[in-house]
């Protein structure tokens, strides 16, 4: 736990200067807060002063008998502070007026430092939160697709928002409270020792009990907090999945089914939260009882020192009692601290799990910039698996000459999309390799390689932004002429101009304001604008109507010229002009050739062709 907390505190490093000022303001505030309570002693002495012969002069610690060493110490402190501004030997009414004004000034200065400590802590708190979220997000976008395949989106969102928020309070807010409590404790104890070391020792007799009680409770709270955060992620995941598939939910009249699933999750969250909170709630009554017990000890022993021992005056005892009340507040907080910080520590574990997730696909040392393709792309005995012992691709071996179209066909699950994903190094080959002009693609920088890829898929990705921003996604300083030319080439310019704000129209989340064909044409315009030497079309027209497909086929025809293209298609009509057709089944290439050759050969390709083009029965 200590190492994890030290790692958390590492996020404070850039802001140590500001945090130091916050600590300084906190220490001054704590000292003035305790000092304001100690001022009760001269206030009460002056208030109840009778005569010099009976009580001594105001501010004197002489109680008429016995030693008064401890009283002399607190008296000397008041002479060096209050006595510099107030004449404690003056008549009681005049001295009281001075003490009250001095007390008012102390409160004013104390609250000025209270403002600065709260403001500076809030500043550091938000700066750390921003940096932490940026750090987690930066790492998330660098992680490989394998990570996102095994991690639910709701869990990712929960850790990036809720867990980081928990971690924020642990890094700054709770740390500031710890420091404040420590300084308040030190200031109160210092003045209490000046008044009576014996009574101070008695006050501390009960404190170890606070920390001994927390052992068994802490383990239960820790386990419970992790369960709560995991269930919070599951709730977020369910919401995200339901909203993403809301059309299916309504089309299936499954609202009741989703309500039951969601209520089951929220009930589990409720039970876990209440079970954990039951143990956390014990912290307050336990520490309150320990504090009450300590107060009883002080009252019992303090009155003996005043009434029988003569070692303490009544004013000093009241001042000590006020300081002890101030003492128990930070002690109670420190006693409850293990339970308070548990959610933050558990959140830190979950956030660090993301931060420590390895980025497995990286640039090799000395990686070169990808220069483009001149001769060919070669898959050399490529194999791949997501999980050991479950191969997705086996023995893939073929060559795609530069400037040609290679079509991939076959039943669902044959490995077509995975095959082209390997070309962009979204995954790494687990066997064999892919070469471009004789160089293994792992020798090239990942960014420069992917910048030369254009991908248009059936599931077009558009962001909640303008049409212009979606076409020019990932590109900077794109001219208006180039952007409109790309839209025209994709047969998208006409419908874009008809939108209510043209190119500045916000398309909605995932492009919901547009039809499927319009979304697809924007994706093609994006690919045309990037002008990549390698293109991948993944089922780009399979879900479109005939008119949209015709327009997109025309746009694709312009886009294909002079490029090396991979086309994945279920509709065999879209691949008949390909220079090379690869027929895949169960992760292997079972046939290859041109359309006419494969039809004549028979086999799987002809079977798929006959399924699609067989005449309908009358």
Q: In this structure, are residues 155 and 183 in contact, taking their beta carbons and an 8 Å threshold?
A: no
Pick the CATH number of 459-531 from 3.40.50.2300, 1.10.10.10, 3.90.1150.10, 3.40.50.300: 3.40.50.300
The confidence score (pLDDT) of residue 172 equals 66
The confidence score (pLDDT) of residue 146 equals 78
379-397 pLDDT per residue, tens: 999 999 888 888 899 999 9
pLDDT of residue 65 exceeding 50, the answer is no
The confidence score (pLDDT) of residue 71 equals 44
Which positions ≥6 away from 571 have C-beta within 8 Å?
Answer: 541, 542, 612
Across the beta sheet with 439-440, the strand order is 390-401, 376-387, 431-436, 439-440
Q: Which has more confidence, 30 or 219? A: 30
504-544 pLDDT per residue, tens: 888 877 777 788 778 888 888 888 888 888 888 886 555 45
Pick the CATH number of 376-452+533-541+561-618 from 3.40.50.720, 2.60.40.1180, 3.40.50.970, 3.40.50.300: 3.40.50.300
3-class DSSP state for residue 580?
strand
Q: Which helix (H) or strand (E) holds 457?
A: strand 453-457
pLDDT of residue 497 exceeding 80, the answer is yes
- Sorted by where each begins, the domain ranges of the chain are 2-355, 376-452+533-541+561-618, 459-531
565-586 pLDDT per residue, tens: 898 876 676 677 788 999 999 8
Q: How confident is the model at residue 602 (pLDDT cuts 50, 70, 90)?
A: confident
The confidence score (pLDDT) of residue 2 equals 63
147-164 pLDDT per residue, tens: 877 777 777 777 777 777
Alpha-carbon distance 153 to 141, whole Å? 13
Q: Output phi, psi for 440, to 5 deg.
A: -60, 135
Topology at the third CATH level for domain 2-355? ABC transporter transmembrane region fold (1.20.1560)
pLDDT of residue 561 exceeding 80, the answer is no
The confidence score (pLDDT) of residue 21 equals 92
The confidence score (pLDDT) of residue 352 equals 83
Q: Which has more confidence, 443 or 137? A: 443
Backbone Cα Rg of the chain: 37
**Averaged pLDDT for residues 600-608:** 86
The confidence score (pLDDT) of residue 72 equals 59
Q: In this structure, are residues 196 and 320 in contact, taking their beta carbons and an 8 Å threshold?
A: yes
Same fold, 2-355 and 376-452+533-541+561-618: no
Q: In this structure, are residues 405 and 577 in contact, taking their beta carbons and an 8 Å threshold?
A: yes
186-217 pLDDT per residue, tens: 888 888 888 888 888 887 776 666 556 655 66
Which positions ≥6 away from 287 have C-beta within 8 Å?
Answer: 210, 331, 332, 335, 336
Alpha-carbon distance 120 to 19, whole Å? 7
421-471 pLDDT per residue, tens: 999 898 899 999 999 999 999 999 988 898 888 888 777 778 888 888 888
Alpha-carbon distance 464 to 509, whole Å? 4
**Averaged pLDDT for residues 55-74:** 44
Percent of the chain scoring above 90 in pLDDT? 10
The confidence score (pLDDT) of residue 474 equals 81
463: how many CB neighbours lie within 10 A of its CB? 14
Which of 222-236, 363-377, 504-518 has the highest mean predicted lDDT (pLDDT)?
363-377
The confidence score (pLDDT) of residue 491 equals 81
Alpha-carbon distance 194 to 69, whole Å? 9
The confidence score (pLDDT) of residue 55 equals 42
The confidence score (pLDDT) of residue 284 equals 65
Alpha-carbon distance 187 to 458, whole Å? 68
3-class DSSP state for residue 374?
coil
The confidence score (pLDDT) of residue 15 equals 87
Vertex 77: Cα angle to 73 and 79 (nearest 5)? 115
Q: How confident is the model at residue 112 (pLDDT cuts 50, 70, 90)?
A: very high
**Averaged pLDDT for residues 369-377:** 90
């Amino acid at each position: 736990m200590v190492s994890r907390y030290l790692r958390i505190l590492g996020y404070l490093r850039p802001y140590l200067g500001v945090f130091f000022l916050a600590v300084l303001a906190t220490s001054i505030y704590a000292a003035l807060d305790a000092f304001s309570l100690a001022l009760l002693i001269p206030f009460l002495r002056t208030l109840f002063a009778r005569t010099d012969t009976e009580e001594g002069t105001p501010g004197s610690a002489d109680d008429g008998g016995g030693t008064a060493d401890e009283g002399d110490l607190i008296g000397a402190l008041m002479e060096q502070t209050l006595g510099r501004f107030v004449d404690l030997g003056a008549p009681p009414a005049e001295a009281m007026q001075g003490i009250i004004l001095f007390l008012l000034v102390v409160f004013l200065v104390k609250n000025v430092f209270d403002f600065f400590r709260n403001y500076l802590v809030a500043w550091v708190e938000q700066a750390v939160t921003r940096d932490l979220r940026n750090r987690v997000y930066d790492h998330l976008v660098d992680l490989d697709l394998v990570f996102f395949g095994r991690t639910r989106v709701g869990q990712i969102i929960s850790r990036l928002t809720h867990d980081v928020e928990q971690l924020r309070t642990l890094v700054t807010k709770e740390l500031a409270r710890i420091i404040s409590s420590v300084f308040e404790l030190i200031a109160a104890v210092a003045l209490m020792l000046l008044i009576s070391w014996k009574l101070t020792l008695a006050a501390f007799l009960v404190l170890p009990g606070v920390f001994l009680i927390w052992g068994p409770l802490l383990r239960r709270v820790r386990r419970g907090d992790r369960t709560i955060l995991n269930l919070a992620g599951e709730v977020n995941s369910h919401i995200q999945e339901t909203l993403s598939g809301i059309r299916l939910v309504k089309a299936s009249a499954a609202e009741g089914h989703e309500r039951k699933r969601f209520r089951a999750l929220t009930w589990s969250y409720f039970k876990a939260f209440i079970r954990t909170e039951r143990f956390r709630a014990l912290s307050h009554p336990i520490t309150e009882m320990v504090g009450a017990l300590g107060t009883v000890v002080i009252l019992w022993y303090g009155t003996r020192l005043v009434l029988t021992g003569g070692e303490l005056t009544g004013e000093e005892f009241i001042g000590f009692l006020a300081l002890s009340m101030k003492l128990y507040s930070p002690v109670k907080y420190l006693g409850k601290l293990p339970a308070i910080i548990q959610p933050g520590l558990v959140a830190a574990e979950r956030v660090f799990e993301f931060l420590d997730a390895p980025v497995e696909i990286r640039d090799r040392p000395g990686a070169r910039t990808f220069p483009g393709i001149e001769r060919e792309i070669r898959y050399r005995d490529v194999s791949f698996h997501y999980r050991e012992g479950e191969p997705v691709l086996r023995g893939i071996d073929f060559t795609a000459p530069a400037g040609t179209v290679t079509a991939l066909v076959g039943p669902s699950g044959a490995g077509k999309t995975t095959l082209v994903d390997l070309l962009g190094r979204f995954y790494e080959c687990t066997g064999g390799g892919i070469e471009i002009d004789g160089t293994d693609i792992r020798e090239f920088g990942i960014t420069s390689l992917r910048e030369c890829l254009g991908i248009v898929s059936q599931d077009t990705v558009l962001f909640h932004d303008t049409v212009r921003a979606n076409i020019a996604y990932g590109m900077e300083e794109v001219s208006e002429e180039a952007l409109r030319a790309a839209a025209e080439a994709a047969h998208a310019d006409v419908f874009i101009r008809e939108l209510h704000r043209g190119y500045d129209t916000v398309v909605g989340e995932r492009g919901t304001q547009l039809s499927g064909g319009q979304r697809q044409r924007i994706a093609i315009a994006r690919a045309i604008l990037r002008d990549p030497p390698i293109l991948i079309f993944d089922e780009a027209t399979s879900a479109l109507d005939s008119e949209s497909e015709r327009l997109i086929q025309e746009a694709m025809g312009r886009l294909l010229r002079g490029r090396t293209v991979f086309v994945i298609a279920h509709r065999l009509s879209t691949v008949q002009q390909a220079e090379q057709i690869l027929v895949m089944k169960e992760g292997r290439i079972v046939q290859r050739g041109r359309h006419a050759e494969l039809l004549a050969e028979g086999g799987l390709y002809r079977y798929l062709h006959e399924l699609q083009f067989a005449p309908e029965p009358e």
